[in-house]
Amino acid sequence: MEETIKTFGKLDVLVNNAGIVSMTSVEDYTGESFDKIFAINLKAPIYLTKIAKPHLVLTKGNIVNMSSVSATRLAAGSFMYGITKNGISYFTKTTAASFAKDGIRCNAICPGVIATDIYDNIMPKEFLETVLTNEASLLNGKVATVEDVANMAVFLASEKAAMVTGECIVIDGGRFITKINE
């Protein structure tokens, strides 16, 4: 943050994008594993938001948090991850409400499964390939990309989204909407 202010003289946008996935069940829970995922997925964005706020007040800037579709739907084996991403969604709404008086907007993006290396060690490759190639489960017939998520972040950070705050926007190709038989 200091380097950004030093280099650019101001802070317009904070994107809280770091995160880890842990595919565990309640039976697999350990305090150590929860502490790690909680620290990265929830505690770090809260801390970064706190230290960014004075700079964002000056620019009437905004915050984009990365949540997950797991904050809106149950996903097998994602209980700890889902808890932290639900926390990010709630944090987004409360931050939007409390920072509005300072002219700061806050929104979250909730991506579905997107082929990135985050899944390499936690999900069987066959499952991921099935999800990513099963166009029948996608309303628009294509899989979301990293660029789709980045484009939404750019939009939310822009003045084009001046009236959008406190929202958690799902990007999953309409995967969980039931198609109407034609």
Catalytic residues: 81
* 1 in Cβ contact with 52 (< 8 Å): yes
- Residue 21 tokens read as 């996935």
For 37-104, the three-class secondary structure string (H helix, E strand, C coil) is HHHHHHHHHHHHHHHHHHHHHHHCCEEEEECCHHHCCCCCCEHHHHHHHHHHHHHHHHHHHHHHHHCC
Distance CA 105, CA 61 (A): 7
- Residue 182 tokens read as 């034609």
